[in-house]
C-alpha cells in the first residue's frame, strides 16, 4: 500500500463529484474540497468518507497559498481565469498541480518557474480535452473486461 496523499480539490461543480469519488477509491488519498461556499463543499463531502470541506476564496492569495502548501497535490476545477493564480501558489509551495484548461499565455509564462521549482504542472486535463477521453477509455475497458465489443462510439462535449 502506498503512502497517504493529501489532495486539494478546488471547485465543487459538475466534475468535482466524479473526480472526488475516483480519488478516494484507493483508500490512500484524503481529499479537501475547497470552494467559496462552504455549504456547497459540505454537501459534496458528506457523501464521501476521507474527504473534508473548506471555504476558500482563491482570490485571497495568502489563503490559497496556505491551502496549496498543506497538500501534496492541487487539482483545479475552478474557472480557467484563476488557474495562473493557482499555479503561482503551487510554484511557491513546490507542490504539483493539475488544471482543466488549455494553456493560457499567463500560464505559459509560469513554465520556467514551475520547472525551476521542480513541480509537475499538468494542464489540459479538463472535459475537452481530458476527462472525456479518460471516461471513454474507462467504459471501453470495462466493456472489454466483460467480454463485450464496442461497435461504435460517439462523444458529445464542449
Query: What positions carry a catalytic annotation?
Result: 128
**What backbone phi and psi angles, to 5 degrees, belong to 29?**
-105, 145
**What backbone phi and psi angles, to 5 degrees, belong to 6?**
-105, 120
Q: How crowded is the C-beta side of 74, counted as CA atoms within 13 Å? A: 32
Query: Rg (Cα) of the chain, in Å, rounded?
Result: 17
Full 3-state SS string of 28-63:
CEEEEEEECCHHHHHHHHCCCCCEEEEECCCCCHHH
Task: Quote the cell numbers at residue 63.
Answer: 489563503
Amino acid at each position: 500500500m502506498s503512502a497517504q496523499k493529501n489532495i486539494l480539490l478546488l471547485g465543487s461543480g459538475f466534475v468535482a463529484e466524479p473526480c472526488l469519488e475516483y480519488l478516494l477509491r484507493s483508500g490512500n488519498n484524503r481529499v479537501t474540497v475547497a470552494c467559496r461556499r462552504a455549504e456547497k463543499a459540505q454537501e459534496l463531502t458528506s457523501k464521501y468518507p476521507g474527504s473534508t470541506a473548506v471555504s476558500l476564496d482563491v482570490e485571497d492569495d495568502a489563503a490559497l497559498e496556505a491551502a496549496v502548501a498543506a497538500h501534496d497535490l492541487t487539482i483545479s476545477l475552478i474557472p480557467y481565469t484563476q488557474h495562473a493564480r493557482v499555479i503561482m501558489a503551487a510554484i511557491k509551495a513546490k507542490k504539483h498541480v493539475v488544471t482543466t484548461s488549455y494553456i493560457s499565455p499567463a500560464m505559459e509564462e509560469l513554465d520556467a518557474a514551475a520547472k525551476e521549482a521542480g513541480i509537475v504542472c499538468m494542464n489540459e486535463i479538463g472535459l475537452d480535452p481530458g476527462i472525456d477521453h479518460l471516461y471513454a477509455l474507462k467504459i471501453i475497458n470495462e466493456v472489454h473486461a466483460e467480454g463485450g465489443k464496442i461497435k461504435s462510439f460517439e462523444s458529445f462535449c464542449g
